[in-house]
Amino acid sequence: QSALTQPASVSGSPGQSITISCTGTSSDVGGYNSVSWYQQRPGRAPKVVIYDVVIRPSGVSSRFSGSRSGNTASLTISGLQTEDEGDYYCGSYVDSTTIFGGGTKVTVL
Amino acid sequence: EVQLVQSGAEVKKPGESLKISCKGSGYSFANYWVGWVRQMPGRGLEWMGVIYPGDSDTRYSPSFQGQVTMSVDNSITTAYLHWSSLKASDTALYYCARQYGRNFDAWGEGALVTVSS
């Protein structure tokens, strides 16, 4: 299975909204409700911010939301804040295995 | 609180063996898959595989099958990742993580492995 496709970088000004895409196939992203998103701040371990496409874990800001259209899942961060800077990875769980996207670097201008 | 505590940084020579650990606490260790994820310097996350502590069932990524071995010791709620013969290309940060449903909801802090002659 190939890695999921994410843009290398996305940037925005404080207060703006940004969207990160994650493109796979009908055999992974498009076929199962098992897409998750992970935030990795510099020097830190990843942290899940969205799972099962749209569910936000307890304690994660409501500014984070997930969606999917066809074989592309998306993570939207609204009201962008400096603390949102870091790398974001999508993951798709299929048949006991997980595929990660290549990662997207989010920069707050 | 669910916690995964990993062993410390290691510096090894090519050809040496290594086992790193990941101790789980705050939950029923035997009942949740534990995954391992590699992050090479400046690169993204790579799923290596998972192990189910309850019966040691393992699933490896084809990229890592035969290159590493996952194991657990339920008596001390610890998972392990083992290399029998390290290569320079194994230099990376290795994370363990608890799989909850279809995502990884708790992560260790990572263990840096450096392989250099």
Asked if A88 reaches chain B (Cβ–Cβ under 8 Å), the answer is no
Q: How far apart are the C-alpha atoms of B48 and A74, rounded to whole Å?
A: 24
The answer to whether B45 contacts A36, with C-beta atoms less than 8 Å apart, is: no
Asked if A57 reaches chain B (Cβ–Cβ under 8 Å), the answer is yes
Measure CB to CB from residue A100 to each of B47, B59, B109 and give the nearest one: B47
**Overall average pLDDT of the A71-77 stretch:** 98
Asked if A98 reaches chain B (Cβ–Cβ under 8 Å), the answer is yes
Query: What sign has the CA pseudo-torsion B104, B106, B109, B113?
Result: negative
The pLDDT tens digits of the residues spanning A24-33 come to: 999 999 999 9
DSSP B30: G
Q: Which of A34, A40, A98 is most worth mutating to test chain B (most B CB atoms within 10 A of its CB)?
A: A98
Nearest 5°: phi and psi at A83? -70, -10
Instruction: Give the pLDDT confidence score for residue A1 in this predicted structure.
Output: 65
C-alpha distance from B107 to closest chain A C-alpha (Å):
7
In chain A, % of residues over pLDDT 90: 94
C-alpha distance from B14 to closest chain A C-alpha (Å):
26
The pLDDT tens digits of the residues spanning B28-76 come to: 999 999 999 999 999 999 999 999 999 999 999 999 999 999 999 999 9
| Closest chain B residue to the Cα of A37, Cα to Cα | B103
Q: Which residues of B touch A (CB under 8 A)?
A: 35, 37, 44-47, 50, 59, 61, 95, 97, 101-105, 107-110
**Overall average pLDDT of the B87-111 stretch:** 97
Q: How far apart are the C-alpha atoms of B80 and B98, rounded to whole Å?
A: 13
Asked if A102 reaches chain B (Cβ–Cβ under 8 Å), the answer is yes
Asked if pLDDT for residue A18 goes beyond 80, the answer is yes
C-alpha distance from B24 to closest chain A C-alpha (Å):
16
**Residue B62, C-beta contacts closer than 8 angstroms, at least 6 positions apart:** none
